[in-house]
A and B are shown apart, each in its own frame.
Chain A
Amino acid sequence: MKSRFRWIAALLTILIGLFIGFSFNSRETQAAKKDSSVLKIGMEANYPPYNWTQPKKTNGAVPIDGSNSYANGYDVQIAKIIGKRLHKKVVVEKTQWDGLLPALTSGKIDLIIAGMSPTAERRKAINFSEPYRKSTFVVITNKASKYSNAKKLSDFKGAKLTAQQGTLHYDLIKQLKGAKREPAMRDFSAMRQSLASGTIDGYVAEDIEFESYHSVNPNIIAVNLNKMAGFHVDHDDSVTSIGVKKGNTKLLNEVNATLRTISNKKRDQLMSQAVKEQPKAGNETKKEDWLVTTWKQYGGMIMSGIGMTLLLALVGTIVGFFIGLLVGIVRTIPTPTTRGKRWALNFVKWLLSVYVEIFRGTPMMVQAAVIYYGIAQFWHLNLNRTIAALIIVSINTGAYLAEVIRGGIISTPEGQFEAASALGMTHNQRMWHIILPQAIRNCLPSITNEFIVNIKDTSVLSIISVSELFFVGTTIASQSFKFFPTYLMISAIYLILTFTITRIFNFIEKRLEGKKNYNLMANQVQVGTPKDAEANN
């Protein structure tokens, strides 16, 4: 018993240590958030040359909140001009494309500068500034492709085309009669990769994406769509604007005033500079050096990604375990003899089953989005991202483990309950001293399982931009354009983590089982178990 407590104590100490380390980091950024002298810009930081992520603070990059990396690009340079005018320091909140609007409406960011077009649909949710970039639509395809000479819209008949998910580009494919519309993709790096590997014939994008990709891959060509007969795009759709929260007219006016001071010439200059500076897949040095260079460049990011993943999984599983214990205990309380208590207990039990049903019955990704953005929008509580992630993983795991532990409690022999009751123990004493130690030992394989699931499933938290291992992997892949090796490396890391943790838990399991032999107190003779004796016969 004692040694078990020591185990738990040791685990907790490590945990708290980790947690303090992390929260120190995040507290700094949190302090920065509250500071009104900071302008928080939302962008993917993954859409060169508009915006991208880089590990060093070169070429006038600005820090990305909650990470050790920096953002740069055309959007960032525009943001800096606005920040300068407002006398505010620019900080980038790296946010996935789908998360940008909710992040703005819930007040987690001040502006969206992400190469976003002010479509009518988006205008319903947020306000847009005057355009800061006007673009031409093109189909990007290989020079060798038969579609590279297309002259009219119908020339794309039979072409497998795609575009970025949730963008106008994807709808434009419909105007290319006869083209096969492939499923939309998450970002341009994925499309570039697909084009290179031949799974698509081309993708719809803006001319600037062509310029930027052309600088690293000269074998591609852009087919201009704007000039083709019958091609129609709203003015709103062909420009990119800055998103501002509705009602914040003061900021909107200031942004517009700033944009007016930036001449077209200056804009072109900024854009071509961005195209030049953007990260390149490049004619990379030597192939065998890939791992080494990646490590040199992104090692820190990977390590902190591993740390974050482990922290989330560990805290989530442990807190979830205690939630599960409490739920398990409450759910097995015997019916009280007085009516009031009976009613209260039934109500609490009902609440708990609602909790289990809801969190077991919805995807963690959805829970994360609802909790992180929802709380900010409706209660104006700005949760720290890491804290939010920890809470989400914990309550989600709690719901699963509640059932696991209930199963463990039920499978403990009835006689153990009865013997404890007959001694006059209260429900709590019965549970903590007799039933749970046995139930938990029986549940341990399931708990290990849940821990491993957590290590992998925390990857869905990338939706709220928690920089865990998968998020880091995506970033590296989209910057290095090395999809296969990057994800292979990330999966190897996941495998190492889960493998190690399985061994650790197996060890704990063995320890909990205790010794097979015992000493007779009278003569100190070792005696085997009756089973051993039987085996010998």
Chain B
Amino acid sequence: MTESNEVILSLKHMQKSYGAHKVLKDISFDINKGEIVTIIGPSGGGKSTTLRCINLLEEPTDGEIDFHGENILAPGYNRNTFRSKVGMVFQQFDLFENKNVLENCMIGQELVLKRSKDEARKIAMENLKKVGMDPFIKAKPQQLSGGQQQRVAIARAISMNPEVLLFDEPTSALDPEMVGEVLDVMQKLATTGLTMVIVTHEMGFAKSISDRVLFISDGIITEQGSPDQIFDHPKNEKTQKFLSNFRKMDF
């Protein structure tokens, strides 16, 4: 949690609509180097869309996204290079079905970062060891459990040495008993100083890991602040209502 004031990503009045339906109305926030930002909020409020817009998996319909001060939405901007610096972990893991665990972690390094095979293998093995998946390097994704796949997906993402790592509800598709193993890995990552943006429904986890929490609902950032502010003293009515649903459970 070595937070500095260097801004890596800056979203300015970002909007996204599908036809007449406006999903994101006005999203603006900065991501500083080393910061861990979690995004919470009700389903359909725009959390995932925000995250996917950052990585340009969705094309924002208006506004600006600056990466180190440069607008990535400008025509001719090298999007692939940008994406290689912004990792992503998906809800459905999305490991490459035609490759085994090790190849999954190597292919991006070889093709995009032009690392040699040996180097790529070495880095992939290090990261697979970090997530505890190194014994499974020969397995194909469909032979693994959900939690195992997600850990491999995390290893694949960090093998690219990204500046920012985006997590799109990484535990939502998992059986409850597998959630823990993935959160443990993320917790471990957080200590390494990696910049992370996490969309999650795990409130306890969000509270303990975050530097800053954003509450997004109805396409706007309703409230943001430190975990203490949001979880213990929420000001906005919507935030209060949303969190009261969770308060019944323990976190």
Within 8 A of A (CB), among B61-92: 75-77, 79-88, 90, 92
B111 near A433: Cβ-Cβ < 8 Å: yes
- Interface status of A38 (Cβ within 8 A of chain B): no
B138 CB contacts on chain A under 8 angstroms? 518-519, 521
A520 to B99, CA, bound (A): 16
- Interface status of B100 (Cβ within 8 A of chain A): yes
A420 CB contacts on chain B under 8 angstroms? 96
- Interface status of B130 (Cβ within 8 A of chain A): no
- Interface status of A423 (Cβ within 8 A of chain B): yes
A529 near B143: Cβ-Cβ < 8 Å: yes
Number of interface residues of B (CB under 8 A): 45
- Interface status of A438 (Cβ within 8 A of chain B): yes
B80 near A529: Cβ-Cβ < 8 Å: no
Given contacts A416-B96, A419-B95, A422-B57, contact A530 B137 (CB under 8 A): no
- Interface status of B127 (Cβ within 8 A of chain A): no
Given contacts A424-B112, A425-B108, contact A419 B94 (CB under 8 A): yes
Given contacts A422-B83, A422-B87, A520-B136, contact A529 B108 (CB under 8 A): no
B88 near A422: Cβ-Cβ < 8 Å: yes
A518 near B139: Cβ-Cβ < 8 Å: yes
Complex partner residue of A415 from B92, B107, B108, B160, CB under 8 angstroms: B92
- Interface status of B172 (Cβ within 8 A of chain A): no
B140 CB contacts on chain A under 8 angstroms? 514, 518
Of residues A514, A521, A522, which shows the largest number of chain B Cβ atoms within 10 Å of its Cβ?
Answer: A521
A423 CB contacts on chain B under 8 angstroms? 83-84, 87, 107-108, 111-112, 156, 160
A170 to B121, CA, bound (A): 77
B111 near A415: Cβ-Cβ < 8 Å: no
Of residues B80, B82, B85, B137, which shows the largest number of chain A Cβ atoms within 10 Å of its Cβ?
Answer: B80
B92 near A426: Cβ-Cβ < 8 Å: no
B98 near A438: Cβ-Cβ < 8 Å: yes
A338 CB contacts on chain B under 8 angstroms? 75-76
- Interface status of B55 (Cβ within 8 A of chain A): yes
Within 8 A of A (CB), among B123-174: 134-140, 142-145, 153, 156-157, 160
B98 near A434: Cβ-Cβ < 8 Å: yes
B55 near A422: Cβ-Cβ < 8 Å: yes
A370 to B70, CA, bound (A): 56
A518 to B81, CA, bound (A): 34
Given contacts A423-B160, A425-B80, A519-B138, contact A438 B97 (CB under 8 A): yes
Within 8 A of B (CB), among A413-464: 413, 415-416, 418-426, 429, 433-434, 437-438, 441
Within 8 A of A (CB), among B204-234: none
Closest residue on chain A to residue B55 by CB atoms: A422
A330 to chain B, nearest CB (A): 18
B153 CB contacts on chain A under 8 angstroms? 419
A426 to B95, CA, bound (A): 17
A518 near B143: Cβ-Cβ < 8 Å: yes
B78 to chain A, nearest CB (A): 9
A433 CB contacts on chain B under 8 angstroms? 107, 111
B75 near A337: Cβ-Cβ < 8 Å: yes
A527 to B157, CA, bound (A): 26
A309 to B134, CA, bound (A): 51
B144 near A530: Cβ-Cβ < 8 Å: yes
A522 near B94: Cβ-Cβ < 8 Å: no
B19 to chain A, nearest CB (A): 17
B107 CB contacts on chain A under 8 angstroms? 423, 433-434
B83 near A421: Cβ-Cβ < 8 Å: yes
B84 near A416: Cβ-Cβ < 8 Å: no
A521 near B136: Cβ-Cβ < 8 Å: yes
Within 8 A of A (CB), among B28-59: 55-57
Closest residue on chain B to residue A516 by CB atoms: B143
Of residues A419, A519, A521, which shows the largest number of chain B Cβ atoms within 10 Å of its Cβ?
Answer: A419
Given contacts A423-B84, A424-B84, A520-B136, contact A429 B112 (CB under 8 A): yes
A337 near B77: Cβ-Cβ < 8 Å: yes
Of residues B55, B86, B96, B138, which shows the largest number of chain A Cβ atoms within 10 Å of its Cβ?
Answer: B96
A424 near B135: Cβ-Cβ < 8 Å: no
A520 to B86, CA, bound (A): 31
Closest residue on chain B to residue A437 by CB atoms: B98
B248 to chain A, nearest CB (A): 33
Within 8 A of B (CB), among A504-537: 514, 518-523, 527, 529-530
A340 to chain B, nearest CB (A): 10
Closest residue on chain A to residue B98 by CB atoms: A437
A434 to B81, CA, bound (A): 18
Chain A window 252-277, contacts with chain B (Cβ cutoff 8 Å), 1 for yes, 0 for no: 00000000000000000000000000
A437 to B98, CA, bound (A): 7
Given contacts A418-B90, A529-B142, contact A426 B83 (CB under 8 A): no
B135 near A415: Cβ-Cβ < 8 Å: no
A26 to B64, CA, bound (A): 64
A424 to B95, CA, bound (A): 15
B82 CB contacts on chain A under 8 angstroms? 424
A413 to B141, CA, bound (A): 14
Complex partner residue of A530 from B77, B90, B145, CB under 8 angstroms: B145
Of residues A1, A422, A521, A523, which shows the largest number of chain B Cβ atoms within 10 Å of its Cβ?
Answer: A422
A437 to B96, CA, bound (A): 10
B96 near A419: Cβ-Cβ < 8 Å: yes
B135 near A520: Cβ-Cβ < 8 Å: yes
B86 CB contacts on chain A under 8 angstroms? 422
B57 near A424: Cβ-Cβ < 8 Å: no
B23 to chain A, nearest CB (A): 17
A50 to chain B, nearest CB (A): 61
A429 CB contacts on chain B under 8 angstroms? 111-112
B84 near A522: Cβ-Cβ < 8 Å: no
A382 to B85, CA, bound (A): 56
B52 to chain A, nearest CB (A): 8
A433 to B136, CA, bound (A): 21
B100 CB contacts on chain A under 8 angstroms? 518
A294 to B121, CA, bound (A): 63
B137 near A424: Cβ-Cβ < 8 Å: no
Closest residue on chain B to residue A423 by CB atoms: B108
B111 near A425: Cβ-Cβ < 8 Å: yes
Given contacts A337-B77, A423-B83, A530-B144, contact A416 B90 (CB under 8 A): no
Given contacts A338-B75, A518-B138, A520-B136, contact A424 B108 (CB under 8 A): yes
B139 CB contacts on chain A under 8 angstroms? 518, 527
B135 near A416: Cβ-Cβ < 8 Å: no
B72 to chain A, nearest CB (A): 10
20 contacts between A and B (CB under 8 A): A337-B77, A339-B75, A418-B88, A418-B94, A419-B88, A422-B86, A422-B88, A424-B84, A425-B111, A434-B107, A441-B98, A518-B100, A518-B138, A518-B139, A519-B138, A520-B136, A522-B134, A523-B135, A527-B139, A530-B142
Given contacts A337-B75, A338-B75, A423-B112, 9 further A-B contacts (CB under 8 A): A338-B76, A418-B90, A419-B153, A422-B57, A423-B83, A423-B160, A518-B136, A518-B139, A520-B135
CB-CB nearest 7 A-B residue pairs: A424-B84, A415-B94, A423-B108, A422-B88, A419-B94, A522-B135, A424-B83
